[in-house]
Amino acid sequence: MGNWKGIVRIEDLSNGTVTNVLEGHTARVTGLACSERLGLLVSKSADGTVKLWRNESWERLTSFNESDIDESDIEERRKLFEHGIEFHPNNASFATLGIQNRVIRVWDVDVHRLDATPIPRHVRYTSAKIVLVGESNVGKSCLAMRLAEDRYPDDHEHGTTHGMRFWPMEAEQLHASAKPPEGQRRDVVLWDFGGQDEYQLVHQMFLHDTTLALVLIDPTRGRAAFDEARDWNKRLEKHLGKDRAVKLLVGAKVDDARKKKLIDQHGIDDVCKDCGFVGFLDLSVRTGRNTKQLRKLISDALDWDQMAKTNRPELFQHIRDDVENRRKRNEIVLTLDAFKRAIKKSAAKLYEEAAVEAVSDQLATQGIIVRTRLSGGDEALVLQLPVIERYAGSLIIAARNNPRGVPVLEERLLGSTRTIPLPGMTKKERLSAANERMVLECIVELMIQHGICFRHGGLLVFPTLFPASGSDEEKLPHSISLYYDFTGAIDNIYASLVSKLMVSEEFGEGRLRAGRVEFESGRQGVCGVRQIKRRGGLAHVDLFFSEKTKPDRKDLFTRFIEEHLRLHGVDIREHEAMTCECGEQISERIVQTRISAGEKDVVCPICERKTLIGEGADRIRKRNPETDAKMVALRKRIDEKLAEDIKSAKKAVAGDIRMAKTGDPIRILHLSDLHFTDKTNPDTKLRLLLQDIHQQDEDYPAIETVEYLVISGDMTDKGQDVGFEKARQFVESLVNELGLSVERCIFVPGNHDVQDRMDAYEEREGVDGKTMQVRHPENFQKRFLQFSNGFFHPLMHREYPLRYADQGISYLFPDTGIQFLTLNSAWEIDKNGRKKAGIHPDAAAGVIAKADDELRRAIEREDLKKNQPILRIGVWHHAVAGTELMSDLGLLSQLQKAGMQLCLHGDVHEPRTELYGHRRPGREVEILGAGSFGSLAEGRPESTPKLYNMLEVFIDSTTKKHKSIRVHTRQQKKENESWQGYHEWPNPSGGRLSYFDIDLL
């Protein structure tokens, strides 16, 4: 038979898989050979199928399966095609190796018959993707227009590009030298990427498959411009991965000789050498200077012969052309079923459903379209990628501009009629409601998949948009174990790292702060990461741990961080230098010396504190191989959780979450005094509460939608860490079940949320010479630190302020016209005075000022109309009547003067109706208390039931004013018993009701 084997011409051959791009068919190949003389290719698949192809066109001519041969032994038949296949070097035949390598079959090829086989018309097609990147306002869009249309934009066409724009063109339009040979087709697509920070996060989804990149800078800016070029180069390298693209450095806006003299040629040469740019050209898009030279430079840099070529049969080309025509007609979205029907109608004789599937998959892989499955089950094609990026960029801006200062978006608002504003997009630029919803579903999927954001508490949270510290000098609360320097798409790497850590839930609830995130779970200690950006695409990441952090927890955390960086970063270097908790830096040389001596810790020369030496992933793997299995399980869990989050987020965007309809009352669920401990079962509490909310009971309607959750203090009992953790789990589950978001949750601390800290006091010598304990000026305020760390911060993604004057927080909701003013009535309570309830005067004054400022800014943003009615509701913990009322009630008149109409408080432990619905003389302010939802029996008389309130706020349809509130009071007489109405309110018709009404007009 001979040993000659021809060169196989195929689109892809990796890991034994051959892909026939004509038919979209993939099979496991166990044998493959080619005859150049015959122009034929033969393949064998694991299922025993032999296929014969035309070598040049990839047209399948015939196929058969050797299992059809009469063989008596089935087991032997199963072993067919375990080995090679060969063409005869001269004759028109090939051989296959058969049963147990003992049978050789020789097959004759009827070349004349094959030559008579009709061959469908094919198009030899090659496409080049050219991207223009650089800082905002550097001239990318102007250059793209000059290259595509050979003109400079008119005045009305100027402005910052939001997202990206496409500029498709034939290759010869770029330059005559790029004209394809006869029978081939070449095209070029210019991708103009917006340079703003918010769009840089999104670029990662579309930079793959780049053929050539134009990196634009203003070369007259010197080092700053060179650093920007290096930065963009790092991003390109990260996004391209193993693929390589030709890169050209372009000096834009060099409009005259004066500017040209400012160019530092030595600096340009260094940048080109460092980044692998094949050349540099300065030009003026305005005058057209050197733009022809740039066209020639681009054309010469494009090696068309080395680019992937596709032979497309007529149907495939018809499908591609249909997509392109739709894009030119500015069609945005269509369902896959509708697309199939259209193709079947326009090409009935050629139609194959599998071909439509294959082409749409191929276009999605190439980044030309996006294919997504909608929440309803249908698949859709998004034809305009610039629309995707523009919407995504606008959402990122909206998150960054969140009035609360936390970069988050409410999922459900994306799918409701009360859609959040989309900055940078006019009403004309927005899509129809149906198309917009499909695009938004696609975007949330892409952003969660790529780690741009993560889903938590009904929110999309964007880690990179939390303001970075930008300084190595910031003191961390824990020692730094080791650090990494790395390069690449810094923001994307950090965002995806934090997102996956948060999604994993392996290390506990995360607390996002400026430029860092830390995780804490129970008594297992703290794990944290801090990033610091540097110029030129460089970044610095610190790993820090608390003294209590368990070794296994530290090992897994370190391995996860390092492997993520190595997977996503271009370069990474691990450093074993450390920083003590006191802030003293311990050099890498000292640490390595200690390691060589077999020591496990380093002693700080300043504070003499011992700090355990951090280990990198390689050392951990050798010392603790069990982490391999843990890493596999962790990655699997993250993938599963991401799939769940994407599904839930798309449902929210599709409007599947229950929300109040126009004309429905606005419902506020008011809980208080949870008093969760290590013995509390949050699931039982949740189940019984939801059962009561959703089931109709006499004069209590079945509640379908809740707009706000208010918990007025005492999340735990006596400041227990585990109580805060269980309360947080309860709230997260409740928010999810009600279709809420934590943005619509209102929390204030109570006296049981205060922690008695040993360091809250210090000893001082009195006048009489005796030692006495006095409040420590800083540590005393930290009594609410665990309320912040263990409950408030993980839910709200911001810290609860520890300064008393800052503990007045305002929450404005323009869509419902409600504003909550929250205060801490437990600020003065300490171990010597458990009854010192009251409001700090500076906090009261401050919250009124903040509330007024919130209204003013909302009107400026046009979120509110100038005279739109607002219902102001005050929230704190302690009652204003009864035996344990607050010491100073003067603030009520102060808040009433500021427009507060209703107050919600807790701490009700007496069976007296005036505590639940207390009315002040003159009815200036309505006072509404909530009972002990879960407080222990020792904190209340046995006769006092556990209570909660459901408020229904009604709005006048004409004036749009909040006209009345119906307060449903619910009670649970015994632990784990079903809830029922608290019938203590007079009924004009006789008897008692489980609700009362408040007239607001």
Local confidence band at 646 (pLDDT 50, 70, 90 cut-offs): very high
pLDDT score recorded for residue 844: 92
Give the model confidence (pLDDT) of 69-115 as tens digits: 444 443 443 343 344 566 666 666 767 765 454 556 666 766 655 55
- Considering only CA atoms, which of 220, 230, 310 is closest in space to residue 260? 220
pTM of the prediction? Answer: 0.77
Local confidence band at 691 (pLDDT 50, 70, 90 cut-offs): very high
What whole-number distance in Å separates Cα of residue 10 and Cα of residue 30? 15
More confident residue, 54 or 290: 290
Interval 384-388 mean pLDDT: 83
Give the model confidence (pLDDT) of 227-276 as tens digits: 889 888 887 887 777 678 899 999 998 888 888 888 999 999 999 999 99
- Considering only CA atoms, which of 712, 701, 705 is closest in space to residue 674? 712
Residues making up the chain, counted from first to last: 1001
Interval 300-306 mean pLDDT: 85
pLDDT score recorded for residue 626: 84
Q: Which residues contact 939 (CB under 8 A, 6 or more apart)?
A: 673, 675, 909, 932
Indicate whether 294 pLDDT > 90.
yes
Interval 16-20 mean pLDDT: 35
Give the model confidence (pLDDT) of 557-611 as tens digits: 988 988 888 777 556 666 666 677 666 777 767 766 766 666 667 777 777 776 6
Local confidence band at 883 (pLDDT 50, 70, 90 cut-offs): low
pLDDT score recorded for residue 215: 95
Q: Which of 446-450, 539-543, 664-668 has the lowest mean pLDDT?
A: 539-543
pLDDT score recorded for residue 592: 67
Range with top average pLDDT, 178-192, 508-522, 785-799 = 785-799
pLDDT score recorded for residue 486: 74
Interval 727-745 mean pLDDT: 93
Interval 320-335 mean pLDDT: 87
Q: Which residues contact 396 (CB under 8 A, 6 or more apart)?
A: 198, 199, 201, 202, 452, 462, 465
What whole-number distance in Å separates Cα of residue 869 and Cα of residue 307? 64
Indicate whether 846 pLDDT > 90.
yes
Contact 838, 891 (CB under 8 A): no
- Considering only CA atoms, which of 975, 403, 969, 421 is closest in space to residue 675? 975
Local confidence band at 168 (pLDDT 50, 70, 90 cut-offs): confident
Indicate whether 697 pLDDT > 90.
no
pLDDT score recorded for residue 366: 67
pLDDT score recorded for residue 472: 45
Q: Where does 695-746 have alpha helices with state H? A: 721-738
What whole-number distance in Å separates Cα of residue 11 and Cα of residue 308? 8
